[in-house]
Chain A
Amino acid sequence: MNLFLSLGVAVRAYRSVLPLMLRPSYWLPFLVLAAVQFGALGLLVGFHHPLLAPLGVPLVRLLGGEKAMHYPALLLYLPGMYSRLVLVLAVLVASVAVAFATLYFARALGLEAGSGRGARVHGRVPSLVLVSVPPALAIVGLSMLAGLVPPQLFLDSSMVRWSVRGVLLIAVILVQSFVSYSTAWVVLQGHSALAALRDSIRVTARTFLPTVLVVSFPVLALYPISYLTQRVDLFIGKLEPELVSALLAGRIVGELFFGFLIVGAITRLFLWRTETVR
């Protein structure tokens, strides 16, 4: 499929989701996920509050170590700690929330009604959790690979810096693209985790450009926020340290909107592609 055709497919996939944005019930899984993420962020930022301390202090100590329990060091380590926590949430909460969203979108986009809304998610939670583990591990692995670049080289050369960032971004988009259909396979087709991952890679391979375009749009749109979370030293040194938590809150809101779009668009592509796959 050439680039223009793929672009047209991606745009159509997004366009089919837009009307659903006006129907509040479709937001529910994403709002639940955002609420959990806000809760996690609040727990990290407010770990010192007397009511949160029994839970917040051990959590911050676990994720950031002793040094993260000081001000303003906490805010310096906050993006890293939050990312680690979000990976766990992605496996445990986001996998289920996205599954519900996929189901709702599939029904709205033409899939025949099954045996009730929760029926296809219920009982498939272990598979949903399992399919979300490989991308989480891949993202951790990619970050660790980026850590292998000598820090001095990273600091001295802007070309090295931006090359590493670019390669990481492309790698993240590719990983997300290849696993993007796995939830749909589990929820809509009742696949096991392994089969869902295998078939997701197969569908992505056959719909490579449209899938990559659909996945890259939100990732690129959110990149400025991701970039700023890597430069929290600037916020602490020159601006208000508290802006770091505002930045992460902005990221949650951004992910809420773009998550809605990407899950909807991927479901649309899945429905379109599985008809051909069959």
Chain B
Amino acid sequence: MNIILTSALSGIIFMFSGFVLKDKRHQSILATILFIVMIASAAFQLQGYGIMLDKYPNMIETDPYRIAFFVILCLVGIYYTLVNRYNFSKPGSKVSDYFALIFISFTGIAVLASFNNLILMFLGIEILSIPLYALAGSAKHKMKSTEAAVKYFLMGAFSTGIMLMGITLIYGASGSFMLKNITAYAFDFQTIYYLGWVMLILSLCFKVSVAPMHFWAPDVYDGTPTVFSSYMITIVKGAGFMTFLTVLASFKITSQIVADNYRFLLSFIIILTLILGNFSALKQTSVKRMLAYSSVVQAGFMMFALFEISEESKYALLYYTVSYGLASVVLFYVLTRVKKVTYKGFNGLSERSPLLAFSSVVALLSLAGIPFTSGFLAKFFILSSAMKEPSNLILVIAALVLAVLSVYYYIKVIIAMYFRKSTNKKKIKLSFTTQILLILGTVLTVALGVYPDLLKMMLNCLNSH
């Protein structure tokens, strides 16, 4: 309950902070402080100092893995807030409102980190999504932003409907909303039960933007002001996968037929996502849109964690979220600093700002999965967690071969930055703090890529008594 309370309180604080804090940068500092408070409250909850935990045993629980996930998302949130501290005023002047929306959506994440009941999961997903619809449309004077908001909202509402239907069917077959009770069902309701699961999976696919429910993603990520699409792509996606994993972990595979069908469904989703995402990303001329499609592809990779849910795959998903989050925050920050978000806009960036160019190279290599960056180990971990059956090798190889395509559109950015000359020779000025933050992100990406136990050590610190 701690994390839900603190994140909700943070949202409320920000609603009124606009009256007190006139300087926009102070809002980011406040946000950082509140993130730290949230992390601290999560740590307290893990240590057993939870508030009102026993009041709602049928609704929430303290799951160390998900709390750790929440903390990681908060840390990515801190990095995101600090790196983007000047960018929040770009879409409009209501910085405190934006932060309020972000923290309210974090309340949703906190709910998702604690639910043990499908109703609460639904609630969490809605609390997470509704502020995002508003954030997507925050650049009110821009058509694309409005379009993104409307599209996101309509598609979101649509998927919510499917999700509710799925939950209803599962409830009908099993007689419970509790995660631990929905594993069993009345035998006569077998069809309804599995239909419910398929609907639930599909609607969650929508939330994490994997095919066949990914069509909204490129338009929304592209239309949303860059600073907020960065948030959606990293933190919200991570939270979505955390939910997905938790829900699917309570899906018990009882027979070979169920196992085959489950694997078939997931392989179908993965392969379709990777093919559609990669081939669409190849043709883009805008880097932002390419990154939007690439986020679909990365989600396809993250789906591998759901293939054989185990301790390893859980850790792999966490690792992937961190690695992907770091790389994306950096890249989206770079997007805000170039005039045009097309490949041409990146021409000659290495001369205009060596640091920006270099940190985006590391981020791109991390997304592409090249060793010595965390992205490689993330891919390695997540693919290997799915490698329990020899027949899965084909799926793994297919994913890796498709990843070669993604390398192509990532290095197109590198080519533009380093091998092409720009007409615009004006240097891009970075403040000292930003430089430090970019270097920190790069160093972290490389450090996690060389010494992956770093993350484990950090999580152990959180858990130890």
Q: Are A and B physically bound partners?
A: no
